[in-house]
Protein backbone atom coordinates (compact mmCIF):
# COMPACT_ATOMS: atom_id res chain seq x y z
CA UNK A 1 0.00 0.00 0.00
CA UNK A 2 1.08 3.56 -0.60
CA UNK A 3 1.44 6.73 1.43
CA UNK A 4 -0.46 9.82 0.39
CA UNK A 5 -0.22 13.41 1.51
CA UNK A 6 -3.28 15.24 0.27
CA UNK A 7 -2.77 18.99 0.53
CA UNK A 8 -6.05 20.86 0.95
CA UNK A 9 -5.86 24.60 0.34
CA UNK A 10 -9.58 25.08 -0.24
CA UNK A 11 -12.23 25.49 2.41
CA UNK A 12 -15.80 24.13 2.40
CA UNK A 13 -17.29 27.62 2.77
CA UNK A 14 -16.04 28.69 -0.65
CA UNK A 15 -15.62 25.42 -2.49
CA UNK A 16 -17.96 22.48 -2.77
CA UNK A 17 -15.06 20.50 -4.20
CA UNK A 18 -13.65 19.97 -0.73
CA UNK A 19 -16.22 17.18 -0.41
CA UNK A 20 -14.61 15.34 -3.36
CA UNK A 21 -11.21 15.56 -1.73
CA UNK A 22 -12.46 14.32 1.62
CA UNK A 23 -14.17 11.45 -0.18
CA UNK A 24 -10.93 10.59 -1.97
CA UNK A 25 -9.02 10.64 1.33
CA UNK A 26 -11.59 8.34 2.90
CA UNK A 27 -11.55 5.92 -0.04
CA UNK A 28 -7.74 5.79 -0.12
CA UNK A 29 -7.63 5.06 3.61
CA UNK A 30 -10.30 2.39 3.24
CA UNK A 31 -8.07 0.66 0.68
CA UNK A 32 -5.32 0.41 3.28
CA UNK A 33 -3.20 3.37 2.20
CA UNK A 34 -1.63 5.67 4.77
CA UNK A 35 -3.29 9.04 4.22
CA UNK A 36 -2.48 12.46 5.62
CA UNK A 37 -4.77 15.39 4.84
CA UNK A 38 -2.70 18.54 5.22
CA UNK A 39 -4.77 21.71 5.58
CA UNK A 40 -3.10 24.94 4.49
CA UNK A 41 -4.13 28.47 3.50
CA UNK A 42 -7.92 28.87 3.84
CA UNK A 43 -8.09 25.09 4.13
CA UNK A 44 -7.45 25.53 7.88
CA UNK A 45 -10.66 27.55 8.45
CA UNK A 46 -12.77 24.50 9.39
CA UNK A 47 -10.22 23.67 12.11
CA UNK A 48 -11.49 26.46 14.37
CA UNK A 49 -13.69 25.11 17.21
CA UNK A 50 -17.33 25.72 16.36
CA UNK A 51 -16.74 25.94 12.62
CA UNK A 52 -18.58 23.75 10.16
CA UNK A 53 -16.03 21.04 9.49
CA UNK A 54 -17.51 19.39 6.42
CA UNK A 55 -16.76 15.94 7.76
CA UNK A 56 -13.19 16.28 8.96
CA UNK A 57 -14.07 14.43 12.14
CA UNK A 58 -15.28 11.46 10.09
CA UNK A 59 -11.98 11.42 8.26
CA UNK A 60 -10.10 11.29 11.54
CA UNK A 61 -12.29 8.38 12.62
CA UNK A 62 -11.60 6.68 9.31
CA UNK A 63 -7.89 6.72 10.08
CA UNK A 64 -6.84 9.75 8.06
CA UNK A 65 -4.28 11.92 9.83
CA UNK A 66 -5.52 15.53 9.62
CA UNK A 67 -2.89 18.20 10.08
CA UNK A 68 -3.13 22.00 9.84
CA UNK A 69 -0.30 24.30 8.81
CA UNK A 70 0.73 26.25 11.89
CA UNK A 71 1.48 29.43 9.96
CA UNK A 72 -1.91 29.38 8.19
CA UNK A 73 -3.61 28.91 11.58
CA UNK A 74 -1.74 31.82 13.15
CA UNK A 75 -2.33 34.00 10.09
CA UNK A 76 -6.08 33.50 10.62
CA UNK A 77 -6.07 33.89 14.40
CA UNK A 78 -6.86 30.23 15.03
CA UNK A 79 -5.14 29.03 18.18
CA UNK A 80 -3.02 25.96 17.50
CA UNK A 81 -3.74 24.79 21.02
CA UNK A 82 -7.48 24.76 20.45
CA UNK A 83 -8.49 23.00 17.26
CA UNK A 84 -11.40 20.78 16.34
CA UNK A 85 -10.98 17.31 17.81
CA UNK A 86 -8.48 15.17 15.96
CA UNK A 87 -6.81 17.98 14.00
CA UNK A 88 -3.18 18.64 14.89
CA UNK A 89 -1.10 21.72 14.11
CA UNK A 90 1.96 21.00 12.05
CA UNK A 91 4.83 22.80 10.34
CA UNK A 92 4.83 22.86 6.55
CA UNK A 93 7.97 20.71 6.69
CA UNK A 94 5.64 17.71 6.82
CA UNK A 95 4.93 18.19 3.11
CA UNK A 96 8.64 18.20 2.25
CA UNK A 97 9.09 15.16 4.51
CA UNK A 98 6.35 13.42 2.56
CA UNK A 99 7.94 14.28 -0.77
CA UNK A 100 11.34 13.12 0.48
CA UNK A 101 9.87 9.81 1.68
CA UNK A 102 8.30 9.13 -1.69
CA UNK A 103 4.68 9.68 -0.71
CA UNK A 104 2.24 10.58 -3.44
CA UNK A 105 1.70 14.25 -2.65
CA UNK A 106 -1.30 15.82 -4.33
CA UNK A 107 -2.29 19.47 -4.15
CA UNK A 108 -5.92 20.53 -4.12
CA UNK B 1 7.82 6.67 -14.58
CA UNK B 2 4.09 6.90 -15.21
CA UNK B 3 2.26 10.09 -14.30
CA UNK B 4 -1.47 10.77 -14.08
CA UNK B 5 -2.55 14.30 -14.96
CA UNK B 6 -5.79 15.01 -13.14
CA UNK B 7 -7.45 17.92 -14.93
CA UNK B 8 -10.15 19.73 -12.95
CA UNK B 9 -9.90 23.35 -14.08
CA UNK B 10 -12.07 23.86 -17.15
CA UNK B 11 -12.25 26.64 -19.76
CA UNK B 12 -9.73 28.69 -17.79
CA UNK B 13 -8.22 31.14 -20.28
CA UNK B 14 -8.79 28.63 -23.07
CA UNK B 15 -9.83 31.36 -25.52
CA UNK B 16 -6.73 33.47 -24.80
CA UNK B 17 -4.43 30.48 -24.88
CA UNK B 18 -6.25 28.87 -27.80
CA UNK B 19 -5.82 25.60 -25.93
CA UNK B 20 -6.42 24.10 -22.55
CA UNK B 21 -2.93 24.57 -21.18
CA UNK B 22 -2.85 21.24 -19.35
CA UNK B 23 -4.21 19.22 -22.26
CA UNK B 24 -1.59 21.02 -24.36
CA UNK B 25 1.12 20.30 -21.77
CA UNK B 26 0.14 16.65 -21.83
CA UNK B 27 0.52 16.55 -25.60
CA UNK B 28 3.91 18.26 -25.39
CA UNK B 29 5.20 15.90 -22.70
CA UNK B 30 3.89 12.87 -24.59
CA UNK B 31 5.78 14.08 -27.59
CA UNK B 32 8.89 14.18 -25.44
CA UNK B 33 8.40 10.55 -24.51
CA UNK B 34 6.40 10.83 -21.31
CA UNK B 35 4.21 7.95 -20.13
CA UNK B 36 1.03 9.72 -19.10
CA UNK B 37 -2.62 9.20 -18.32
CA UNK B 38 -5.31 11.86 -17.98
CA UNK B 39 -8.22 11.91 -15.57
CA UNK B 40 -10.88 14.52 -16.29
CA UNK B 41 -12.82 15.46 -13.20
CA UNK B 42 -15.11 18.22 -11.99
CA UNK B 43 -16.04 20.65 -14.75
CA UNK B 44 -13.19 19.36 -16.92
CA UNK B 45 -15.31 16.28 -17.73
CA UNK B 46 -17.05 18.68 -20.12
CA UNK B 47 -13.92 18.49 -22.30
CA UNK B 48 -15.23 15.07 -23.32
CA UNK B 49 -18.55 16.53 -24.42
CA UNK B 50 -19.59 16.36 -28.06
CA UNK B 51 -20.50 19.53 -29.88
CA UNK B 52 -18.11 22.05 -28.29
CA UNK B 53 -17.62 25.06 -30.55
CA UNK B 54 -15.66 28.14 -29.52
CA UNK B 55 -15.22 29.55 -33.02
CA UNK B 56 -16.13 33.01 -34.24
CA UNK B 57 -14.90 35.47 -31.62
CA UNK B 58 -13.80 38.88 -32.82
CA UNK B 59 -12.56 41.91 -30.87
CA UNK B 60 -12.77 45.04 -32.95
CA UNK B 61 -11.03 44.21 -36.18
CA UNK B 62 -9.16 41.25 -34.74
CA UNK B 63 -10.68 37.89 -35.46
CA UNK B 64 -9.69 34.65 -33.76
CA UNK B 65 -8.73 32.22 -36.48
CA UNK B 66 -7.51 29.41 -34.20
CA UNK B 67 -10.09 28.86 -31.47
CA UNK B 68 -9.49 26.08 -28.97
CA UNK B 69 -10.73 22.72 -30.21
CA UNK B 70 -10.69 20.86 -26.94
CA UNK B 71 -12.63 17.78 -27.99
CA UNK B 72 -10.25 17.28 -30.91
CA UNK B 73 -7.31 17.63 -28.54
CA UNK B 74 -8.74 14.99 -26.20
CA UNK B 75 -9.40 12.67 -29.14
CA UNK B 76 -5.83 13.23 -30.32
CA UNK B 77 -4.48 12.25 -26.90
CA UNK B 78 -6.40 8.99 -27.09
CA UNK B 79 -5.03 8.42 -30.59
CA UNK B 80 -1.49 8.90 -29.25
CA UNK B 81 -2.04 6.17 -26.68
CA UNK B 82 -2.73 8.34 -23.66
CA UNK B 83 -5.40 6.74 -21.49
CA UNK B 84 -8.09 9.36 -20.88
CA UNK B 85 -10.55 8.79 -18.08
CA UNK B 86 -13.52 10.85 -16.85
CA UNK B 87 -15.17 10.57 -13.46
CA UNK B 88 -18.55 8.98 -14.08
CA UNK B 89 -20.40 10.77 -11.28
CA UNK B 90 -19.10 14.14 -12.50
CA UNK B 91 -20.35 13.37 -16.01
CA UNK B 92 -23.76 12.35 -14.69
CA UNK B 93 -24.06 15.44 -12.48
CA UNK B 94 -23.51 17.55 -15.58
CA UNK B 95 -26.08 15.70 -17.64
CA UNK B 96 -23.55 13.92 -19.83
CA UNK B 97 -24.74 10.44 -20.68
CA UNK B 98 -22.82 7.72 -22.52
CA UNK B 99 -23.98 9.01 -25.89
CA UNK B 100 -22.88 12.55 -25.17
CA UNK B 101 -19.14 12.05 -24.87
CA UNK B 102 -16.21 11.31 -27.14
CA UNK B 103 -15.27 7.80 -28.07
CA UNK B 104 -12.19 6.56 -26.28
CA UNK B 105 -12.78 8.39 -23.01
CA UNK B 106 -13.21 5.79 -20.29
CA UNK B 107 -15.70 6.44 -17.50
CA UNK B 108 -14.43 5.60 -14.01
CA UNK B 109 -16.43 5.70 -10.83
CA UNK B 110 -15.19 7.52 -7.75
CA UNK B 111 -14.93 4.14 -6.05
CA UNK B 112 -12.28 3.16 -8.62
CA UNK B 113 -10.08 6.19 -8.07
CA UNK B 114 -7.80 4.59 -5.43
CA UNK B 115 -7.03 1.76 -7.84
CA UNK B 116 -6.48 4.19 -10.71
CA UNK B 117 -4.10 6.34 -8.65
CA UNK B 118 -2.23 3.24 -7.51
CA UNK B 119 -1.32 2.51 -11.12
CA UNK B 120 0.77 5.66 -11.46
CA UNK B 121 4.08 6.66 -9.89
CA UNK B 122 3.15 10.31 -9.88
CA UNK B 123 -0.27 11.94 -9.52
CA UNK B 124 -0.43 15.59 -10.59
CA UNK B 125 -3.62 17.54 -9.93
CA UNK B 126 -4.01 20.55 -12.28
CA UNK C 1 21.77 6.45 0.87
CA UNK C 2 22.06 10.25 0.72
CA UNK C 3 19.81 12.40 2.82
CA UNK C 4 19.88 14.94 0.05
CA UNK C 5 16.90 14.61 -2.20
CA UNK C 6 16.00 16.02 -5.58
CA UNK C 7 12.55 17.53 -5.77
CA UNK C 8 10.69 19.16 -8.66
CA UNK C 9 7.91 21.71 -8.31
CA UNK C 10 5.62 22.90 -11.08
CA UNK C 11 4.14 26.34 -10.45
CA UNK C 12 1.52 28.25 -12.43
CA UNK C 13 0.41 31.31 -10.51
CA UNK C 14 1.68 34.79 -11.31
CA UNK C 15 2.88 36.90 -8.37
CA UNK C 16 0.48 38.85 -6.20
CA UNK C 17 -2.64 36.87 -7.13
CA UNK C 18 -2.85 33.84 -4.86
CA UNK C 19 -1.88 32.41 -1.51
CA UNK C 20 -0.61 29.40 -3.44
CA UNK C 21 2.48 31.37 -4.44
CA UNK C 22 3.42 32.03 -0.82
CA UNK C 23 2.96 28.38 0.14
CA UNK C 24 4.99 27.27 -2.88
CA UNK C 25 7.86 29.61 -1.97
CA UNK C 26 7.69 28.41 1.65
CA UNK C 27 7.99 24.81 0.48
CA UNK C 28 10.93 25.59 -1.78
CA UNK C 29 12.57 27.47 1.11
CA UNK C 30 12.29 24.41 3.35
CA UNK C 31 13.75 22.21 0.64
CA UNK C 32 16.72 24.47 -0.14
CA UNK C 33 17.48 24.91 3.56
CA UNK C 34 17.85 21.13 3.68
CA UNK C 35 20.38 21.33 0.86
CA UNK C 36 18.13 19.52 -1.57
CA UNK C 37 18.48 19.88 -5.32
CA UNK C 38 15.30 21.72 -6.25
CA UNK C 39 13.92 22.09 -9.74
CA UNK C 40 11.17 24.54 -10.53
CA UNK C 41 9.20 24.46 -13.77
CA UNK C 42 7.40 27.78 -14.00
CA UNK C 43 4.39 27.46 -16.29
CA UNK C 44 2.00 30.16 -17.44
CA UNK C 45 1.82 33.11 -15.02
CA UNK C 46 4.53 31.72 -12.78
CA UNK C 47 7.13 32.82 -15.37
CA UNK C 48 6.63 36.30 -13.91
CA UNK C 49 7.86 35.28 -10.46
CA UNK C 50 11.51 35.99 -11.40
CA UNK C 51 10.66 38.95 -13.69
CA UNK C 52 13.57 41.36 -13.45
CA UNK C 53 11.52 44.54 -13.90
CA UNK C 54 9.53 44.23 -10.67
CA UNK C 55 9.83 47.47 -8.68
CA UNK C 56 9.13 48.20 -5.02
CA UNK C 57 6.78 51.03 -4.09
CA UNK C 58 5.75 53.14 -1.11
CA UNK C 59 2.53 52.59 0.77
CA UNK C 60 0.62 55.82 1.27
CA UNK C 61 -2.28 54.09 3.01
CA UNK C 62 0.11 53.11 5.79
CA UNK C 63 2.34 56.16 5.47
CA UNK C 64 5.39 54.11 4.57
CA UNK C 65 8.18 55.13 2.22
CA UNK C 66 9.59 52.75 -0.35
CA UNK C 67 12.33 51.79 2.08
CA UNK C 68 9.98 51.40 5.03
CA UNK C 69 7.51 49.34 3.05
CA UNK C 70 10.27 46.99 1.95
CA UNK C 71 7.80 45.40 -0.46
CA UNK C 72 8.22 41.71 -1.08
CA UNK C 73 9.29 41.28 -4.67
CA UNK C 74 9.09 37.68 -5.82
CA UNK C 75 12.18 38.16 -7.98
CA UNK C 76 14.13 38.89 -4.78
CA UNK C 77 12.64 35.85 -3.07
CA UNK C 78 13.67 33.62 -5.98
CA UNK C 79 17.19 35.08 -5.88
CA UNK C 80 17.38 34.55 -2.12
CA UNK C 81 16.25 30.93 -2.49
CA UNK C 82 18.97 30.33 -5.06
CA UNK C 83 21.58 31.71 -2.66
CA UNK C 84 20.18 29.62 0.20
CA UNK C 85 20.37 26.53 -1.98
CA UNK C 86 24.03 27.07 -2.79
CA UNK C 87 24.94 27.89 0.79
CA UNK C 88 23.42 24.59 1.94
CA UNK C 89 25.09 22.44 -0.68
CA UNK C 90 22.08 22.11 -2.93
CA UNK C 91 20.88 23.91 -5.99
CA UNK C 92 17.87 25.69 -7.41
CA UNK C 93 17.31 25.10 -11.10
CA UNK C 94 14.48 27.38 -12.25
CA UNK C 95 13.10 26.87 -15.73
CA UNK C 96 10.59 29.29 -17.24
CA UNK C 97 8.35 27.79 -19.92
CA UNK C 98 9.47 29.63 -23.02
CA UNK C 99 6.15 29.98 -24.81
CA UNK C 100 4.57 31.25 -21.60
CA UNK C 101 7.38 33.83 -21.38
CA UNK C 102 6.79 34.91 -24.97
CA UNK C 103 3.05 35.47 -24.74
CA UNK C 104 3.46 37.44 -21.49
CA UNK C 105 6.45 39.50 -22.62
CA UNK C 106 8.28 38.22 -19.56
CA UNK C 107 11.64 37.70 -21.21
CA UNK C 108 13.65 39.73 -18.73
CA UNK C 109 14.24 37.42 -15.82
CA UNK C 110 16.82 37.68 -13.06
CA UNK C 111 20.12 35.94 -13.50
CA UNK C 112 20.12 32.18 -13.29
CA UNK C 113 16.71 31.53 -14.83
CA UNK C 114 16.67 29.23 -17.84
CA UNK C 115 14.18 29.12 -20.66
CA UNK C 116 12.69 25.70 -21.30
CA UNK C 117 9.72 23.64 -22.35
CA UNK C 118 7.38 20.88 -21.11
CA UNK C 119 10.07 18.38 -22.09
CA UNK C 120 12.26 19.92 -19.39
CA UNK C 121 9.51 19.44 -16.82
CA UNK C 122 9.23 15.79 -17.72
CA UNK C 123 13.02 15.30 -17.62
CA UNK C 124 13.26 17.03 -14.26
CA UNK C 125 10.40 14.97 -12.85
CA UNK C 126 11.89 11.71 -14.10
CA UNK C 127 15.23 12.56 -12.52
CA UNK C 128 13.71 13.61 -9.19
CA UNK C 129 12.85 11.71 -6.05
CA UNK C 130 9.44 13.32 -6.18
CA UNK C 131 7.43 16.06 -7.87
CA UNK C 132 4.69 18.37 -6.62
CA UNK C 133 2.39 20.20 -9.02
CA UNK C 134 0.87 23.40 -7.64
CA UNK C 135 -1.65 24.38 -10.29
CA UNK C 136 -3.60 27.59 -10.61
CA UNK C 137 -7.38 27.88 -10.36
Contact by Cβ (8 Å): B67, B55: yes
* Chain C partners (3+ C-beta pairs within 8 A): A, B
> What is the predicted pLDDT for the residue at A53?
83
**Each residue of C66-86: pLDDT tens digit?**
999 999 999 999 999 999 999
Structural domain spans, chain C: 1-45+82-137
CATH number at residue B42: 3.40.1260.10
Residues of A in contact with C20 (CB under 8 A): 9, 41
Query: Using CA atoms in the order C11, C16, C17, C22, what is the torsion angle rounded to 10 degrees?
Result: 50
> What three-state secondary structure class fits B68?
coil
In chain C, whose CA is at the least distance from the CA of A100? C5
In chain C, whose CA is at the least distance from the CA of A95? C27
**Each residue of A16-34: pLDDT tens digit?**
999 999 999 999 999 999 9
CATH number at residue A12: 3.40.1260.10
> What three-state secondary structure class fits B50?
coil
Residues of A in contact with B110 (CB under 8 A): 20, 23-24, 27
- Is B89's Cβ below 8 Å from some Cβ in A? no
**Residue B88 sits in which domain range?**
2-125
> What is the predicted pLDDT for the residue at B45?
98
> What is the predicted pLDDT for the residue at C2?
62
Q: What is the ipTM of this complex?
A: 0.97
| Tally of structural domains, chain B | 1
**Residue A63 sits in which domain range?**
3-107
**Contact flag A100-C134 (C-beta cutoff 8 Å):** no
**Contact flag B111-A31 (C-beta cutoff 8 Å):** no
**Each residue of A58-83: pLDDT tens digit?**
999 999 999 999 999 999 999 999 99
**Mean pLDDT, residues B2-31:** 98
Residues of B in contact with C45 (CB under 8 A): none
Instruction: Report d(CA B105, CA B102) in Å as an integer.
Output: 6
Please give the model's pTM, rounded to 2 decimal places: 0.97
- The second-level CATH assignment, the architecture, of C1-45+82-137 is 3-Layer(aba) Sandwich (3.40)
Q: Is the model's pLDDT at C118 over the cut of 70?
A: yes
Contact by Cβ (8 Å): B52, B98: no
**Mean pLDDT, residues A27-55:** 96
Amino acid sequence: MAKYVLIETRDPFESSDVAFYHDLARRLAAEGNQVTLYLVQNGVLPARPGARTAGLEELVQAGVEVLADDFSLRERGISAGRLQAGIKPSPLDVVIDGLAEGCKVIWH
Amino acid sequence: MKALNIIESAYRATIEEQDDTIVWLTHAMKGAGADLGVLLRGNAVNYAALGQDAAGLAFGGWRQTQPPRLADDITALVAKGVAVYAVAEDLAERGLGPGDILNGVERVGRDSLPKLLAGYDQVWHW
Amino acid sequence: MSDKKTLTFALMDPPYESARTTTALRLIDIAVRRGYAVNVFAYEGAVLLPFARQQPHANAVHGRSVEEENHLLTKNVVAALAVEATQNGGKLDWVNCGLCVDERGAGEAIEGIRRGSPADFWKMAEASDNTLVIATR
